[in-house]
Amino acid sequence: MSEHEYVPTSKAGKWFNDRLPLLSLGAHLSDYPTPKNLNYWWTFGGILTFCLITQIVTGIVLAMHYVAHADLAFESVEKIMRDVNYGWLIRYIHSNGASMFFLAVYIHIFRSLFFGSFKSPRELIWIIGMLIYILMMAAAFMGYVLPWGQMSFWGATVITNLFSAIPLVGESVVTWLWGGYSVDNPTLTRFFSLHYLIPFLILGLVVLHIWALHIPGNNNPIGIDIKKPSKDTVPFHPYITVKDIFALLMFMIIFAGFVFFSPNVLGHADNYIPANPLVTPAHIVPEWYLLPFYAILRSVPDKLGGVILMFGALFVLIILPWLDTSKVRSATFRPMYRQFFWIFVVDVLALGYLGAMPAEGVYLFLARISTAYYFLHFIVVLPALGFLEKTDPLPASISEPVLTGGFSAVPTRSDKTIDEKKIT
Amino acid sequence: MKLLVTILIATFFFGKAYSSSKDLLKIDWSFAGPTGKFERDSLQRGYQVYKEVCASCHSMQYLSYRNLSQKGGPEFTLEEVKAIAASYEVEDGPNSDGDMFERPARPSDHFINPYPNVNAAIASNGGAYPPDMSVLVKARPGGANYIYSVLMGYEEKPTDFDLDVGVYYNKYMDGNKIKMPSPLSDDLIEYTDGTNATQAQMAKDVTAFLTWAAEPHLEARHRTGTKVIIYLIILATLVYFSMKKIWSRVDAEK
């Protein structure tokens, strides 16, 4: 890689770079050799960075006007919507931005699942990504509490009550979380504090996520190891930047569609009713992006069991790199996994739908089936496929996707030598 | 393209999961759609309905009289708003002697509440709180159509339907029971602009007014949104061709 030899042309630049090699870092990011066959599913990393920055910037402005107090929070949000200059725009960007953030992160995660980006040597990128995802859910949940509407209050009550399922200390833990004996002002103020903190933790993890990515480099749609730099790669700038910007603009058009033309469609009407501890809404529903986990939680009749299963659903994601035993990364060359991948997508969408429905009758039955399948996918299907599946032969390089025969080999490091021969 | 389809499906999927719509009455609202605007006359009439009918029970605590002259709203003139405000008395103070006193309201004052507090409102309405109307349209699934439907949905109760005294039958209310008696009837008020005050006309006007009250910057939002989308499309087109040009160097190697 060329960044090691990077020398700034100007004297001042050289002086600075010798003391703090930021310019070398810039050169590295610019030259970073990227597989040339990345498709649009790979643009969501950049889109997610945009989402995070958007949430932070709009959030900081909102925090200037928002009042974290049980008696004033709802009113202060209405003040933002009515009296703050472009307050409506900033708040709608922030509230819809959360949904857009999750939309993008789900696409990003499913892309990784399809193309096997979580596999060796990229396990840490995946795990850091999952930590980001968990923090995102925490931040989004606490953010939804801040307007102190009915869904805020009752959502907070339901979710914090989950911790009461912990044996022996559950009740004390919940009291500690609430800062009292029910969800009230102390709960709101600490949620606000944490809601402001978490995005910066996410930002830190994003730096680690990208750092870890830049060690092995990007995976790619065929999932084979490639030599970098080579005919198979392009420098990040301008090739990937221009593509990322184009995809980001497409994403922004959809984002703007929500913000300007149906800003409340992704939220719940009940959250425009001020929080009332004496009136429980007919259905307490979390935001759409949490629904699959909510469905898993409710599919178990026992509270502790539900909580364990819900956290288990996240845990199997974290250990995924060791559950999927297949050495082949991309589903393109895995005829059986490809089928199971799409079944899994449908399963998660079904869980999302069922999470929004009342937990009774046929909905509950289907939620239980879907929950069972969710775990079956990770614990049985993925480990077994590695042994049972006959994968298609892999190409030797991106530049030569047409098979030259004989290479049905798995993409291990020994492939690099093959690649080198082909390229040189 | 695949991406767009996915997003559309996802939106439809989750949108559907949320809407629990009974078949509400549907009006072709002027403010619906990406270029929707309010009709000034309708908003002004709607305010008259609110003032003369709703306001005796329903507060609108997040609105101030000045909002009535704000751009994108009913757009009463400043003089008219001053006169409207001055017709209400508000408590102010304490003055230099430490006493509270009454004075005519100013445009900067909030809409006065019909009741001193929530409990008083509940007590005066047979145990049901008449909800604050500031964001009511956004607080009900179905929005404007729902409000309109409830206003038009009073019917004779089916013979086998049990109703307590002081509870009314409404086709669109949850459980079909509502504590509010039908608030609107033909010629209940006399519109200052001479429009025929039918029940449907008043329901439509007051719903439009409440929609504006819940979303006072709706017109600015639609206007800005149109510009933003056009800007993004133009920019995306330029970036698309730049991308094609830049990538042609790579594609040529194949």
Residue B219 has pLDDT above 90, yes or no: yes
**Contact status, residue A53 vs residue A104, Cβ threshold 8 Å:** no
User: What ranges in A319-360 are assigned the alpha helix state H?
Assistant: 320-323, 335-356
> Which residue from A88, A250, A269 is facing B217, i.e. has the nearest CB?
A88
Test the B interface: residue of A85, A250, A354 with most B CBs within 10 Å: A250
Contact flag A89-B15 (C-beta cutoff 8 Å) = no
Q: What is the pLDDT of residues A65-95, one digit of tens each?
A: 999 999 999 999 999 999 999 999 999 999 9
Q: What is the 3-state secondary structure (H, E, C) of B217-243?
A: CHHHHHHHHHHHHHHHHHHHHHHHHHH
Contacts of A350 (CB under 8 A, 6+ apart): A366, A370
Domains and CATH numbers, chain B: 35-63+111-235 (1.10.760.10)
B11-40 residues touching A, CB cutoff 8 A: 11, 13-15, 17-18, 34
Q: What average pLDDT score do residues B103-112 get?
A: 96
Determine, yes or no, domain membership for A270: yes
Does A97 score more than 60 pLDDT?
A: yes
List chain A residues with CB under 8 Å of B121: none
Burial B147-163 (b: 16+ CB within 10 A, else e): bbbbbbbbeeeeeeeee
Confidence grade of residue A4 (pLDDT, cut at 50, 70, 90): low
Where do we find the tokens 């002081």? Answer: B166
Q: What is the ipTM of this complex?
A: 0.90
With a cut of 90, say whether residue B15 has pLDDT above it. no
Instruction: Give pLDDT, residue A344.
Output: 98
Is B236 in Cβ contact with A263 (below 8 Å)? no
Give A352's contacts in chain B (Cβ within 8 Å). Answer: 13-14, 17
- In contact, A94 and A267? CB cutoff 8 Å: no
Would A271 be classed as within a structural domain?
Answer: yes
Does residue A165 lie in a domain region?
yes
Output the 3-class SS for A146-212.
Answer: CCCEHHHHHHHHHHHHHHHHCCCCHHHHHHHHHCCCCCCHHHHHHHHHHHHHHHHHHHHHHHHHHHH
Contact yes or no for A356 and B247 at CB 8 A: no
Does residue B44 belong to the interface with chain A, where contact is any CB pair within 8 Å?
no
- Under DSSP, the state recorded for A23 is H
pLDDT digits (tens, 9 = 90+) for A193-221: 999 999 999 999 999 999 999 999 999 99
pLDDT over 90, % of chain A? 90
Among residues A193, A245, A196, A208, the alpha carbon closest in space to that of A94 is found at A196
CATH of the domain at A151: 1.20.810.10
Q: Does A135 touch chain B (CB under 8 A)?
A: no
Chain B environment of A245 (Cβ under 8 Å): 239
Q: Which residues 2-41 in chain A show a CB within 8 A of chain B?
A: 36, 40
| Rounded Cα gap, residues A74 and A91, in angstroms | 13
The 3-state secondary structure of chain B reads CHHHHHHHHHHHHHHHHHCCCCCCCCCCCCCCCCCCCCCHHHHHHHHHHHHHCHHHCCCCCCCEHHHHHCCCCCCCCHHHHHHHHHCCEEEECCCCCCCCEEEECCCCCECCCCCCCHHHHHHHCCCCCCCCCCCCCCCCCCHHHHHHHHHHCECCCCCCCCCCCCCEEECCCHHHEECCCCCCCCCCCCCCCCCCCCHHHHHHHHHHHHHHHHCCCHHHHHHHHHHHHHHHHHHHHHHHHHHHHHHHHHHHCC
Residues 6+ apart with CB under 8 A from A165: A303, A304, A306, A307
Mean pLDDT of B23-30: 94
How much is the pLDDT for A362? Answer: 95
Which residues does chain B have within 8 Å of residue A263's beta carbon, measured at their own beta carbons? Answer: 221
Number of domains present in the structure of chain A: 1
B247:A82 CB<8 A? no
Which helix or strand (DSSP H or E) is residue A79 part of?
helix A73-82
Confidence of residue A421 (pLDDT cuts 50, 70, 90): very low
A92 located within any domain:
yes
Task: Indicate whether A236 belongs to any domain.
Answer: yes
Non-local (6+) Cβ contacts of A308 within 8 A are none
Which sign, positive or negative, has the C-alpha torsion A166, A169, A175, A177? negative
Q: Please list every residue in chain B whose beta carbon sits closer than 8 Å to the beta carbon of residue A88.
A: 217, 220-221
Residue A228 belongs to some domain of the structure: yes
Note the pLDDT of residue B95: 94
**A314 by DSSP, 3-state: which?**
helix
Contacts of A190 (CB under 8 A, 6+ apart): A179
Contact check, Cβ <8 Å, A239/B247? yes
Q: What is the pTM of this model?
A: 0.91
User: Are residues B229 and A260, on separate chains, in Cβ contact within 8 Å?
Assistant: yes
Q: Which residues span the domain enclosing A227?
A: 36-286
Interchain CB distance below 8 Å, B239 and A246:
yes
Q: Report the alpha-carbon distance of residue A386 to residue B40 in Å, rounded.
A: 67
3-state class of A329 per DSSP?
coil
- Nearest CB partner across the interface for A256, out of B62, B232, B250: B232
| Cβ <8 Å between B139 and A272 | yes
pLDDT score for B6? 52
Q: Does B253 contact chain A (CB < 8 Å)?
A: yes
- Considering chain B, what is the average pLDDT of its residues? 91
The DSSP string of A255-287 is: HHHHHHH-TTTTS-GGGGSBP-TT---SS----
Average pLDDT, chain A: 93
Other beta carbons within 10 Å of B89: 11
Chain B interface includes A234 (CB < 8 A): yes
- A238 to chain B, any CB pair closer than 8 A? The answer is yes
- pLDDT of A424 strictly over 60: no
DSSP state of A40: G
Query: Is A212 among the domain residues?
Result: yes
Q: Is A141 in contact with A258 (CB distance < 8 Å)?
A: no
Under the banding of pLDDT at 50, 70 and 90, the label for residue B148 is: very high
Chain B, window 77-116: residues with a beta carbon less than 8 angstroms from a chain A beta carbon:
none
Is A226 part of a structural domain of the chain? yes
